[in-house]
Amino acid sequence: MTITHNSIKSLREALKPLRAHKTIALVPTMGNLHQGHISLVKLAKQHADIVVVSIFVNPTQFGVGEDLDSYPRTLEADTQKLKEAEADYIFAPTVEEMYPVMPPPTQVLAGNISQMLCGKSRPTHFDGVGIVVTKLFNIVQPDVAVFGKKDYQQLAIIKQLVRDLSFDIQLIGGSIVRAEDGLALSSRNQYLTQEERAKAPELHKAVQDLALKLQNGQASCDSDLESLIEQSIAAINAKGFKVDYLEVKNQDLTPITEFAGKQSWLIAVAAWLGKARLLDNQEVDV
């Protein structure tokens, strides 16, 4: 049975008697759930007795001119999907419940890691992520928290947050779930027109092409890597996208400084296609 709570107090009261003999997992979402979200719920069920899914379109992580007002809100359909996935609790608070003072005067800042990649074009985004995730961790007090790897930078920031604020929480990253044609599932994919949706998988194909070149040893120095990145950006833009960024980092998001020996790198990309800003990434062993 899936039970919905809208208040912090009622959710805490429901979870309090369970803590002594049950493990609790949290899956934070902004709703408009797809199979990527459901895969995270299923993953959480493998690691805990009780699964709490939060549904909250968090205004503090949207910048000026972004899609806060138009972001899809589908609580009834989401609730049905979570019942079918056998989630135990849904936490669906209002903005007023989460933020008694808006904008909240308290901030949770992540430092340098929040200023790269998505942080360059969305400079306040991860500040909003920091405070909402910290609040959710304090409200639910989970043993386990599950986040998707599609938002790789977000997961890295939350790992840092857990470490630096001493949360006693096991973080688990769920693999990217893709459509049959390779497009990473996202709530924002519905912004794509039919023509754009047919073109969208080209982003993942470009990342795969770059990954293959890296695995084949075509980047043996900074200039090689820079050239490959520039070629990939040009190829993506030629398909009708507008690349926000495409970067290759170490998997801890530090810059590439070594090119010899076995290493694990990350290709991270964000690109606009019409009104949709698409994210993708791929881990690469070189």
163 annotated to bind ligand: no
35 annotated to bind ligand: yes
36 annotated to bind ligand: yes
Q: What DSSP designation does 184 have? A: B
Take residue 35 and report the two structure tokens written for it.
């199979």
Angstrom CA distances, 152 to 53, 78, 118, 252, stand at: 20, 24, 10, 10
Find out whether 187 and 30 touch, Cβ atoms under 8 Å: yes
B/e letters for 227-266, b = 16+ CB within 10 Å, e = fewer, are ebbeebbebbeeeebebbbbbbbeeebeebeeeeeeeebb
150 annotated to bind ligand: yes
34 annotated to bind ligand: yes
98 annotated to bind ligand: no
Angstrom CA distances, 227 to 150, 210, 214, 222, 270, stand at: 25, 11, 12, 9, 18
Cis status of the peptide bond prior to 103, with omega within 30 of 0: yes
15 annotated to bind ligand: no
37 annotated to bind ligand: yes
User: Is residue 125 among the annotated active site residues?
Assistant: no
149 annotated to bind ligand: yes
186 annotated to bind ligand: yes
Angstrom CA distances, 233 to 164, 192, 225, 227, stand at: 35, 20, 12, 10
**Of 5, 21, 37, 125, which residue is the catalytic one?**
37
61 annotated to bind ligand: yes
274 annotated to bind ligand: no
Q: Which of 112, 106, 273 is nearest to 186 (CA)?
A: 273
31 annotated to bind ligand: yes
Q: How far apart are the first and last CA of the chain?
A: 46
Strand partners, 49: none
Query: Which residues line the annotated binding site for beta-alanine?
Result: 61
Query: Which residues line the annotated binding site for ATP?
Result: 30-37, 148-151, 177, 185-188
Query: Which residues line the annotated binding site?
Result: 30-37, 61, 148-151, 154, 177, 185-188
Q: Which residues are catalytic?
A: 37
Query: Which residues line the annotated binding site for (R)-pantoate?
Result: 61, 154
